[in-house]
Structure 1
Amino acid sequence: MTREGSTMMTQWSMQQRDPWDPWFNRSEKGKYELTSVEFTVTQLCNLRCEHCAVGEMLVTEEGVSISVEKLIQRLEEVETLTTLSITGGEPILNPKVVKETITPLLRYARSRGIYTQLNSNLTLPLNRYQGWIEDLDVLHISWNYRDAADFHRIAFEKYGRDVTPKAAAVLFDRMMDNARALSEQGVFVSAETLLSPFTAPYLTGMHQAIVEMGCARHEVHPLYPSDFARGMDLISLDTFRETITALLDKRDPSIWLLFGTLPFYPCSENPADRELWLRLHQEKNITVRHDPDGRNRLNVNVFNGEVIVTDFGDVPPLGNIQTDRLDTIFDRWLEHEASKRLHCFCPEARCTGPNLLVADAYYPDTDFQKRRAVITIDY
């Protein structure tokens, strides 16, 4: 992979070999290695979205962070590192976090040739995204709205006090304007839609809005039943399949479409699942990303140092960066019962198995270790 050249070259490079996808490491090395680290750098957020998978962790007052020097020290120990992700909360809400944690981490990653992603709701003034974003590879946003009314209901569902529709509309418009402006500046903006009973019927319209904002990529993922989203209904597998098929039929072929943590697999007994898997691997500008969580990534909480396998899962902390190396913690995870249960691998079909939350939600009684792909992908 190369990080040189224009945004389009970076997009092409990442699309050909998505650096967050554990498929490449597993297929080439014959094992999973720690290639990705995600830092939760804040627990503050100006929104309280109903679908937030870390909502119960959000606070109203920032804690004291572990020094960025300590974080970088632990990254230095990971020789296999290729990607770094930054998440929250809203990472850029606190200027101190941007200055003392985010900017040094991004500059360290660039000096080492590591791809970076930052998750933001993009609702803050545009100037808050200047001065550091030139060191970022992917600006990741959520897009689960048809209009300002949707945003008002969804983003402030758990806020705890009334927010006027007018105030919400200001943030919604700013989010769209920021996405357009940053995309025009050459920033790689990737917009993610979580499929739920609310978003599924309107996915193609949301896709068109993402295209009109100039985003480089549209990501489609399941709704993760965690934290605030734990009580939300999941769509059925049939509805999920029908929704994706409709999007494929009506998508803008010029934009990169990424499907992550899909609940469909090449070992399925359902022919429709297998046909969809084949189509997703045959059409241009479409990729299927296998789940980094639990295969090549760990999440670090910069306030208490705890390391978990995902920032919205139920697996208890596996270690602490105050005392443990990250690669040691990752080796510990590979011996975990949950890891062994899900780490199946079918190279002929380009599949590394299910996501932990998705498997528990849709396939609670399925032993994926006893299944095998019945189709082959040419790649």
Structure 2
Amino acid sequence: MTRRRTLAVAAISFLTLAVLGATPSSAGTAADSTADSGSTDIPADPADSTDPEAMDAVRAFQDAFPGVSDTEAWQRINAEDERVALIEELAAESPDTYGGAWYDGATDTQHLLSTTPDAAAEFTAAATDRGIDVRTHDVDYSLATLLEQRDQVNAGEHPDVPAGASAGVDMRENRVVVELPLRALRGVRSGEVQLPDIMEAVARRNGTTGPEACESQFECQRPLRAGLEIRRGNDNYYCSSGFTANSTTNSHKWMLTAAHCGSTGTTFSHDGRAIGPMRGRHNTGDVDAAAIRVDNEYWLNATWGWLFHENANNMQLPLDGRITSESSMQPGQTVCIAAQSSTSGIRCGVLGDVNDSTARNMARVDEIDTCPGDSGGGWYRYSSGTRIAYGIHHGGKIQPSTCHANDVSLFSTLPDITDRMGLRVHTR
């Protein structure tokens, strides 16, 4: 019988790979931020805030967790920093007993998974010390084990899994979810093929994800910032700019976007001003991301680490930090996107899955359907007045896009992007 208890995601440090394939020069930490450590004046009620992000974050929270008042939702969103610090701490200190985590905003409860009673007691004490209401669950497998098994499947190297499979992790069920072609799935269900107990087999869903790019217009002066409309070459194909970044191996400045937005060598521009060519791209598995080298002196002669915001001063907001490990992420977090269709308003949703096995193992955001042209935009978490970069937008599951209707949104996480491309997102 499966035991269930609560624990935080193991903080797995990784070596970054260079955009052009060189060896990395440094590795990140689980929480990497250049934000000012001083206190931020956050209104107790979202209605007292002049920032529309606050009200849309509250709306997204209430869509996911009905019945929560505006004030309660706002307070719980702003408390996410403390919850993230908890799960990162537990993940780093207890990788062998940590099974994962998720947050229930309806009851304001942090759920932690662990593999031993002693670990559960330690996790409970750590949460209590931080003033966090916690519920623990006994599970059979550590998150580190789940991720190791997942990666073996996705690399085609697992000895007990049929070829052509892909996998994700279901945190709540403490299982690796393996997507199989129908023929292989029949073999599993008939008993001819036996998967390890750590795995659950599901049918592969073909055509469940797709890019979002279209014709649109924006005009914005420097600095470059996440959420601008960018044009590919001279054709009428548009995507969104993601976060700006440094390479771990060279001195160039880069702008992230989605890999499906163009090919290597393609030049991108914004509002008639060239940015530079796409020089690195990766569009397989859980990463759909590309690096555009910033060559134009107009854009280079500016500061870095900004988000587009139509209602902010000078239409820009600072990016305060970035995640460097998926241990910073858990289902139940409220996240927002900066993308070219943001003229319709700030858009936020609630993280439903860190690794959606039915969507290339990307992160899935519920309660939000983005629009054509949003591909490449930047996903971030907004709480306590700060913005922490999470990833680059891929698209949705419903094709063609329903655009602000019934779909979900998918993005590649920064840890996966950095692991494959060696880029370090700028922060303020």
Q: TM-score range by the shorter chain?
A: under 0.3
TM-score (ref. length: structure 2): 0.24
Instruction: Please say which structure displays the higher CA radius of gyration.
Output: 2
Q: Which has the higher helix share?
A: 1
